[in-house]
Chains A and B, each alone.
Chain A
Amino acid sequence: MGGMPAGPIPMEGHDFSLWEKRVDALLTLCGSKGFFTVDGLRRALEDMGEEAFEKYSYYERWIASINQNLVEGGHYTLEELGTRMEEIRVRGQTYGDANHG
């Protein structure tokens, strides 16, 4: 997207929430442990297409890419992921509740 026309730069910021920090930490650890490289992160991000950059937030795209790289690397299966997410969904209504399950 470098060089593409775009509007004014949005200056507002936010403090990172816990789940975003955890996504960031996951990426750093996956890199330092050699599970995949930042090139793998980028490849999956770019495969999402331009729409994903409009629709999803920064760390939402990151966790999607991290997940894809880990599944491709055989660290767990898509089925395991789906089963676990379903378990998490019924633990509670909020991130805090679901995380303590």
Chain B
Amino acid sequence: MPHDHHDPLSPSGHPYRQDNDEPLSYWQMMEIAVRELMIEKGHLTANEIATQIDAMDARSPADGAAVVARAWVDPAFKARLLDNAGAASTEMGFDIGPLNLIAVENTDKIHNLIVCTLCSCYPRNLLGLPPDWYKTRAYRSRAVSEPRAVLREFGVELAEYVTVRVHDSTADMRYIVLPARPAGTEDLTEAELAQLVTRDSMIGTGVPRRTL
């Protein structure tokens, strides 16, 4: 490939945001300055920052999907997950940290939706960093006042009889949706089931795929 070729989309399907070759911004200068000062004064190390970024990069919605798939195939695990989502996830080897994690279950009569109206609290230890739209004013404002309209924008059309429950996250209390297992998936393995579980289905703005 020629070296002057720039792929317009990243592997995740998003346009690359220029970072290292754009004119240096005021806030980038501030980030460098804060980081350098904190390192020089012995409050942090460069290694701690790099390790933290690696840990963050390693997390993805696949972690949450593994937890959901386990709950779909193992009723005892599902009961533990709904009782204490943090402890149940830790059982599977996921580091949840000190935050309280609550799993809320979707059924044929209840659909749960997660938002953080204050900021961007999100079950990042199981899903990675939140998508941009989760942090927008539009989502945070409207998720609590007209959730059904918001869901329609995401392509989720709910029957009138389905109750929508919106959960407002806080710094200490995060939620994750346990989506309903799609019908007709009885023959799938746990690993295959996990592939049906999308990120948005664990936020409540989507539903799982029906087929692999």
Residues of chain A having any CB pair with chain B under 8 Å: 1-26, 28-29, 33, 35, 37-39, 42, 45, 53, 56-60, 63-64, 66-67, 70, 75-76, 80-81, 84-85, 88-89, 92-99
A6 x B44 contact (CB < 8 A): no
Q: How far is the CA of A14 from the CA of B15 in the complex (A)?
A: 6
Q: How far is the CA of A24 from the CA of B33 in the complex (A)?
A: 15
Contact of A23 with B31 at beta-carbon distance under 8 Å, contacts A5-B141, A12-B132, A13-B132 already known: yes
B32 x A75 contact (CB < 8 A): no
Q: Which of B65-73, B85-93, B114-122 contacts its partner?
A: B114-122
Q: A17-B17, A18-B19, A25-B56 are in contact. List 9 more A-B contacts (CB 8 A).
A: A6-B141, A9-B154, A12-B14, A13-B14, A13-B133, A15-B16, A84-B33, A89-B24, A94-B22
Partner of B52, one of A8, A18, A25, A56: A25
Closest-CB distance, B96 to chain A (whole angstroms): 14
Secondary structure at chain A's binding surface: helix, strand, loop or mixed? helix
Q: How far is the CA of A83 from the CA of B124 in the complex (A)?
A: 35
Closest-CB distance, A79 to chain B (whole angstroms): 11
